[in-house]
Amino acid sequence: MPRSTGIKRFAGMLMAGLFATLATSAQSDSVVTPGSKAAGMDTCVAPTAEMRRYHMEYLKHDRVETVRQGVRGLKNSLADCVDCHAAKDGNGGYLSINADGQFCDRCHNYMAVTLACFQCHRKTPADQDASSAKTSTGNQGHAFGLLLDRGESAALTAEERAQFQALVREE
Amino acid sequence: MSNKDDRPDMKRREFIGKTVLAAGAASVAPGVLLTVAKAGGESRGVSSDVRYGLLIDTNKCADDCTACVDACNRENGIDLVERPKGQSDDDWNAQRPQWIRKVQLKDKQTGEITNLPMMCQHCEFPPCVDVCPTGASFKRADGIVMVDRHTCIGCRYCMMACPYKARSFIHQNVAQQLVNAPRGKGCVESCNLCVHRIDAGDMTTACQEACEKDGHQAIVFGDLKDPDSKLAKLLKTKSSRQIRADLELNTGVRYTNV
């Protein structure tokens, strides 16, 4: 039946085109803000995949220790998130990390998760002078964005997978 | 070894008894023992070996000076809270956050005027903690009474319970915060003895520092439990008072010459 074959072929091409577009758009940009301190670093406080899934758990756990027991300078700190991930506004200052299209907002908006941290917490690095902050030069080291860079493998590395499994077992 | 009489070897019995007790404790309650051991050797975080407090000499507190209030506002980002558009002076003064305020007492008979800075008194038995329905209002091991904003629901029960009117409620969104003083609409807050400084190992509060800088030296901060601290020594030699001592809250902030 030539007619139905034609439709099938057309639908197939349409779907393939759609997937290709989606895939490239998803792969083409990393959420780590270019020019932020984070963009110049190799890794966050934990492997990328782990940070994506568990950052809220880490913050929640450490906030109790900090507020209630006065334990400061822990590995996971919201102030450190802001310090590394805030983008500069071009006038020597910083943009709010939860502003439209910024690091926190991009993912939380996409996932429809309301972000309440910054109703109370500071949204920009404490050091307001962006020129003195460490900046990245190239486009390298986007390895811990929400989405992957072009050419980056979507699979976890063996090391990351092992850490994951250990985490899951703990829970 | 031979015994000359029929009495058993008491040393041996004692030894066996102690061994059994120790082994039993180790196997039955290792968690309990671990906790005890940890409490002794824990270097990070707060400890109940100290209790922070203030001694305020009202004689030295100057009439027109607001150095402590200004320093507190700067240190804790209170000056970043903006007045809502169209709010009257009265409403703003009644509702703006205030961690320290200057109180003036007047003796009606003699006309004598006493100034004193008033803040959270960091009670040993804080009524705000008693009434908090969520456990957000709490007392740290080192005696600092504070609010965990993560669990505060803004019911303001603690504000009703506090005899010192020490707590403030944040009525509107706050645009700017300091890293050390998160603040947002819908939570209660009060003086926390500059807890970020204490945790960093700094033994001054903003108010004390400002008062000293202005040459008044009315405020002394220190550890009430350390007999060698300046605060403890002053308390030992001077006659001091707790405000509303009749409530038996055992406040951490004491006043002289009131």
Whether pLDDT at B242 is above 70: yes
Alpha helices (runs of H) in B132-202, residue ranges in sequence order: 157-161, 195-199
Distance CA B65, CA B217 (A): 12
Chain B neighbours among A 108-127 (CB < 8 Å)?
119-123, 126
Q: Is A113 exposed, middle or buried (0-12, 13-18, 19+ CB in 10 A)?
A: exposed
Task: Specify whether the CB–CB gap between A16 and A112 falls below 8 A.
Answer: no
Q: What is the pLDDT of residue A160?
A: 58
Q: Is the dihedral of CA B123, B125, B129, B131 positive or negative?
A: negative
With CB atoms and an 8 Å threshold, state whether B182 touches A120. yes
Task: Give percent above pLDDT 90 in chain A.
Answer: 32
Domain made up of B52-256: CATH architecture: 2-Layer Sandwich (3.30)
Residues 6+ apart with CB under 8 A from A102: A33, A86, A87, A95, A96
Q: How confident is the model at residue B9 (pLDDT cuts 50, 70, 90)?
A: confident
With CB atoms and an 8 Å threshold, state whether A67 touches B141. no
**Nearest-5° angle of CA B55, CA B56, CA B61?**
160
Distance from CA of A156 to the nearest CA of B (A): 34
Residues 6+ apart with CB under 8 A from B229: B222, B223
Query: For chain B, what are the domain ranges?
Result: 10-41, 52-256
Structure tokens at B168: 């403030």
Looking at the predicted complex, does its ipTM rise above 0.85? no
Distance from CA of A40 to the nearest CA of B (A): 23
With CB atoms and an 8 Å threshold, state whether A120 touches B187. yes
How many angstroms separate the Cα of A51 from the Cα of each of A36, A151, B9, B130, B159? 17, 21, 64, 38, 39
> E-assigned strands of chain B?
52-57, 101-106, 113-118, 137-139, 145-147, 168-169, 188-189, 219-223, 240-241, 253-256
Name the residue in chain A with its Cα closest to that of B48.
Answer: A69
Chains A, B: CB contacts within 8 A come to 48
Place of tokens 């308390």: B235
Residues 6+ apart with CB under 8 A from A26: A147
Residues 6+ apart with CB under 8 A from A61: A76
Residues of chain A neighbouring B177 (CB-CB closer than 8 A):
120-123
- Average pLDDT in the A133-139 region? 36
Distance from CA of B237 to the nearest CA of A (A): 32
**Nearest-5° angle of CA A101, CA A104, CA A105?**
40
With CB atoms and an 8 Å threshold, state whether B148 touches A126. no
Residues of B with CB under 8 A from a CB of A: 44-46, 138, 140-142, 146, 148-150, 173-174, 176-179, 182-187, 195-196, 198-200
Beta bridge partners of B219: B56
Could you say which of A63, A70, A126 has the minimum Cβ distance to residue B199?
A70
With CB atoms and an 8 Å threshold, state whether A119 touches B46. no
Distance from CA of A99 to the nearest CA of B (A): 12
Q: How confident is the model at residue A91 (pLDDT cuts 50, 70, 90)?
A: confident
What does the longest C-alpha to C-alpha distance in chain A come to?
A: 75
**Side chain identity at residue A141, one-letter code:** G
- Check if A68 contacts B (Cβ < 8 Å): yes
How many angstroms separate the Cα of B3 from the Cα of each of A145, B12, B15, B17? 80, 13, 18, 20
Q: How confident is the model at residue B98 (pLDDT cuts 50, 70, 90)?
A: very high
Please tell me the total number of residues recorded for chain B in this structure: 258
3-state secondary structure of A121: coil
Better-predicted residue by pLDDT, B158 or A32: B158
Residues of chain B neighbouring A68 (CB-CB closer than 8 A):
138, 140, 148
Better-predicted residue by pLDDT, A6 or B227: B227
Residues of chain B neighbouring A69 (CB-CB closer than 8 A):
45-46, 140-141
With CB atoms and an 8 Å threshold, state whether A70 touches B45. yes
Name the residue in chain A with its Cα closest to that of B138.
Answer: A68
Residues of chain A neighbouring B192 (CB-CB closer than 8 A):
none
Q: What is the pLDDT of residue A135?
A: 37
Q: What is the pLDDT of residue B255?
A: 97
pLDDT (tens digit per residue) in B32-81: 544 444 443 333 789 999 999 999 999 999 999 999 999 999 999 999 99
Name the residue in chain B with its Cα closest to that of A70.
Answer: B45
Query: For chain A, what are the domain ranges?
Result: 31-170
Q: What is the dihedral of CA B38, B39, B41, B46, to 10 degrees?
A: 120
Distance CA A7, CA A11 (A): 6
Name the residue in chain B with its Cα closest to that of A77.
Answer: B179
pLDDT (tens digit per residue) in B132-149: 999 999 999 999 999 999
Task: Specify whether the CB–CB gap between A119 and A6 falls below 8 A.
Answer: no
